Chain A
Amino acid sequence: MLRLVASGPGPEAVIRLEDVSLRRGGRRVLDGLNLAIPEGGITAIMGPNGAGKSLSLRVMARLITPDSGSVQPAGTLSGPQDIALVFQKPVLLRRSVRANLRHALGVYGVPRRQRRARLGELLDFGRLAAIADAPARALSGGEQQRVAMVRALAARPRLLLLDEPTASLDPQATAAIETLILDAAHAGTTIVIVTHDRGQAGRLADHIRFLHKGALVEAAPAAQFLLAQKSPEAQAYLAGRLLL
């Protein structure tokens, strides 16, 4: 498979997967994946189903240890809470929104005397004050995803990984999530988002990494990639053709 890297992984990468391979159920789901995420801004990972997008996020988040290859975080990702992950289907605790965030602050080791102020900041940041005392699991999908994002940001991570955070959300909820993503990026958090949505990649991403069959096929600045893809796989994917 031809691999095209327009803006190669430079020394500024915040995290780098080198020759990462992983087998699941007798199948090679990551196949010598080399992926570098630039420090700062928003990187979108695109590709068809089964390309290894979500798995690569889990490898970066240290939830999965690859069979071979290495994960090399930059020196800025030294703490356990420097990387946060938001799942496509967030699992919130059986508590109110406020209690979910308070729990996260506790897990992240925020001193008790600082938690009230931090909680207020988080509720404001996520525009969650009006639903702070509602049971988190009774909220709409979009509101739950907002809570999950704000919960992840409670750790003040340097790298935020988002696994299709707006899949199956309506446009209004999608817009609210995208606003949060942009706010977090402007605040200095490096963001990696897995998305199938070309429009979303165009609205949010500074860089795009295109994966197919567990390997990196193309890496380029977003504007360049969306205008003209160099690999036949990316061209077929964005043209809406089935990639087998």
Chain B
Amino acid sequence: MQGFGDAFAAAFGLIVGLDADLVEIVGLSLAVTLSATVLACLIGFPLGALLAVGRFPLRGALTVLVNALMGLPPVVVGLVVYLLLSRAGPMGALGLLYTPTAMIIAQTILVTPIIAALTRQIVADLDAEYHETLRSMGAGAGARMATLLWDGRLALMTAALAGMGRALAEVGAVMIVGGNIDHVTRVMTTAIALETSRGELALALGLGIVLMILSLALNALVMGARVSAARMAHA
């Protein structure tokens, strides 16, 4: 095993030299994560808004369920998606197992409840302020939801970024449904796990540093979006 200092030096070398393997893994990670986040936003934003302003049977139960699903164990999601996509499963004919698409599906399932639950809270808070005005204008449920989602757009960005952070750091589900296949489904988290187990610390550390930088950047964006949202609320 390399020494700690040697490993760090080699890791920085890989990053600065834009090592082909490292770039490929980071690129795939971002593609999978961004795709899953976009899909989760497309589902989570309207679902959260519906839970916030809709009046329908079982709304309370659905809200509890979405909140509970925020803590879904990734390996369980991985297992369920694996069973669905495996050859004997109901969606086996699609041949998606061990592909980036399978990883996107698993991450979308993990991230959607987070985005939906945060959206519900953001839209409910805004609705408390807008409710009487929009009702007096005769706005229907659809117009109300659209208005609240648009006016809460900066706060909703924090929800999307929080979901993206979760997807980026996730390892269990993508390992199960992606298989960590070199040049096909290997992403940062699964590569770090593999390289560490093999004692190849340089690539693991290099990926870990990139992952940390991305995580910090995401958190900075979340903070910036929160500040902008607070400023916009009073603007």
Contacts and interface: CB of A to CB of B under 8 A. Distances in A.
A associates with B: yes
Interface of A: 61, 63, 80-81, 84-85, 87, 90-91, 93-95, 103-104, 106-108, 135, 137-138, 151, 155
Given A63-B136, A104-B137, A107-B137, 19 more contacts: A63-B135, A80-B138, A81-B137, A81-B138, A87-B136, A91-B129, A91-B130, A93-B147, A94-B151, A94-B233, A94-B235, A95-B151, A106-B143, A107-B139, A107-B143, A108-B137, A137-B234, A137-B235, A155-B137
Contacts of A87: 132-133, 136
Contacts of B235: 94, 135, 137-138
Given A94-B235, A135-B235, A107 B133 contact: no
A80 B136 CA distance: 9
25 contacts: A63-B132, A81-B138, A84-B136, A84-B137, A85-B136, A87-B132, A87-B133, A87-B136, A90-B133, A91-B129, A91-B130, A91-B133, A93-B130, A93-B151, A94-B232, A95-B151, A106-B143, A107-B137, A107-B139, A107-B147, A108-B137, A108-B138, A135-B235, A137-B233, A138-B235
B139 to A, nearest CB: 5
Given A91-B130, A95-B151, A137-B235, A61 B137 contact: no
Interface in B131-167: 132-139, 143, 147, 151
Contacts of B136: 61, 63, 84-85, 87
Contacts of A151: 137
A82 to B, nearest CB: 10
B136 to A, nearest CB: 4
Closest 5 CB pairs of A and B: A80-B138, A91-B133, A85-B136, A135-B235, A94-B151
A61, A91, A108, A155 — most chain B CB neighbours (10 Å):
A91
B152 to A, nearest CB: 8
A151 B137 CA distance: 9
Nearest to B234: A137
A104 B137 CA distance: 8
SS class of chain A's interface: helix, strand, loop or mixed?
A: loop
Contacts of B151: 93-95
Nearest to A154: B137
Nearest to A91: B133
A107 B147 CA distance: 10
Given A87-B133, A94-B233, A103 B138 contact: no
B32 to A, nearest CB: 33
B133 to A, nearest CB: 4
A71 B137 CA distance: 19
Nearest to A61: B136
A61 B147 CA distance: 21
Interface in B109-145: 129-130, 132-139, 143
A84, A94, A106 — most chain B CB neighbours (10 Å):
A94
B145 to A, nearest CB: 12
A81, A90, A107, A151 — most chain B CB neighbours (10 Å):
A107
Nearest to B134: A107
Contacts of A138: 235
Contacts of B137: 81, 84, 104, 107-108, 151, 155
Contacts of B138: 80-81, 107-108, 155
Contacts of B133: 87, 90-91
Nearest to B232: A94
Nearest to B129: A91
A103, A104, A155 — most chain B CB neighbours (10 Å):
A103
Contacts of B139: 107
Contacts of B135: 63
Contacts of B232: 94
Nearest to A137: B235
A61 B135 CA distance: 10
Contacts of B233: 94, 137
B138 to A, nearest CB: 4
A137 B235 CA distance: 5
A233 to B, nearest CB: 29
Contacts of B130: 91, 93
A151 B232 CA distance: 21
